[in-house]
Structure 1
Amino acid sequence: MKISVLLDRARDHALPVIATIGDDDLTQPTPCADYDVRALLDHLLHVVVEFQKLAAKQDADFSHTPSYPDWRERYPAETAKLVEAWGRPGADEGIAGTMNMPAPVVGGLALLDLTIHVSDLAKATGQSFEPDPEVFTEVAALVERMGPMAIEMNVFRAPVEAPADATPFERLLAATGRDPRWSA
């Protein structure tokens, strides 16, 4: 399935979570120890913006994360642009910008962030989240392929043990180093 279709499905699951985040939620901790809700919203929006450039084979800048005071309005627009960017002819071919990685892998990383970080935001704000099944399958395959390298690059933490009765998505979260049953 094309990465743009998967990103669109991930977007459909992400936007309701983001739209439900209130001002009182912004200082809440998240499963990402380095981020509270506000910082994670900024990080994820920055990823969405920069991965649009990577789809166009342009250089992206992840050296700093800007603050997005208009995040509520920007998420729907920027995630639509992300889907559009990865749907253009050639976006999923060749090498993607400064990441110097195959474009399909880079598109998968955008999908991973949009899925895992939205789950983080949902947990932090008391919402439920379950990814689209086809998005889950793609993200799980990417986590399995990229696991050791992602840990080395500090994208993931070392895997944690999932409870015996964990769902497949909880097992995926554990593989990225998250407590699959984290709560604030």
Structure 2
Amino acid sequence: MDTENTDTENLDTQTSPDAAASLPDFESAARHVAELLDGIGDQQLKDPTPCPDYAVQELIAHLVGLTAAFRDAAGKSSGPNTDTAPDSARPELTPDWRTVLPRQLDELVAAWRAPEAWEGVTRVGGVTLPGGVAGRVGINELVIHGWDLARSTGQGYAADPASLGVSYGLLEPADAPGRGAIFGPPVDVPDDAPFLDRVIGLSGRDPRWTP
């Protein structure tokens, strides 16, 4: 999860009623992740991913953990899901992941449909930050790790423009949260490359990566 060192200064902590209708939505990003799961065979779980420390099974386990964490963050719920840093322990995949992850993706979407999820402050990954920032970080997590999972398992991936725009807004600034810590240095990508490739490059990944 990409929340460390988030700079919350000068960020709004309230969402006006007039802006509620235009809040980002998790549905497309979550659906793209869910659609990948049936295409993952058990024999692929130990295959490499663009995340150097994760095989496919750890990447899926990370998605299980982050969907629970961001779901609870939407409801301002404090506990192990929101207070534990993502790098505190190596994620371990449980046998029920094929049913747990789709359910949690649905719960995540529903939780962030509540306008109050975007208001005030919340906590996720052991970090306190504005709700509006947490929501955008959560969408970015799904976009980037969805690409990771698709590329690792030989599947297509077509993130929606709105979700890519959320990721771009987080990753493009030179002082983006986590730059040099969680995110590697941006990978140069041509200006006329597909939007997805440019976003992936900003996350420190090479869009040309293959297993």
Q: Which residue of 2 aligns with 1:72?
A: 98
Q: TM-score, normalised by structure 2?
A: 0.79
Which of 15, 25, 41 is equivalent to 1:22? 41
- Could you say which structure has the higher helix fraction? 1
Structure 1, residues 116-167: CA drift from partner, whole Å, max 9, x if none? 1010010011111010111111221122248533224x22111111256632
Aligned-residue identity in percent? 34
Q: Which has the larger radius of gyration?
A: 2
Which of 110, 114, 125 is the equivalent residue of 1:88?
Answer: 114
Determine if contact 2:71/2:111 at 8 Å carries over to the other structure: yes
Deviation at 1:115, TM superposition (A): 0.9
Structure 1: any 5+ residue segments left out of the alignment?
none
Asked whether 1:39 is paired with 2:58, we answer: yes
Deviation at 1:168, TM superposition (A): 1.6
| Greater Cα shift, 159-168 or 19-28 | 159-168
TM-score (norm 1): 0.90
Aligned length: 181
For 2:45 and 2:150, locate their aligned partners in 1 and report how far apart those are by CA, in whole Å: 12
Give me the whole-angstrom Cα distance separating, in 1, the residues matched to 2:174 and 2:68: 22
Which of 103, 113, 118 is matched with 2:141 structurally?
A: 113
| Alignment partner of 2:153 out of 108, 122, 125 | 125
Distance 1:162 1:13 in 2: 23
Partner SS for 2:117:
coil
Conservation of the 8 A alpha-carbon contact between 2:60 and 2:93? no
Q: Residue 189 of structure 2: which of 136, 150, 162 is its match?
A: 162
- The alignment partner of 1:100 has SS state of strand
Q: State the shift of 1:23 in Å.
A: 0.4
In the alignment, structure 2 segments of 5+ residues that lack a partner are: 1-21
- Matched residue type, 2:23: K
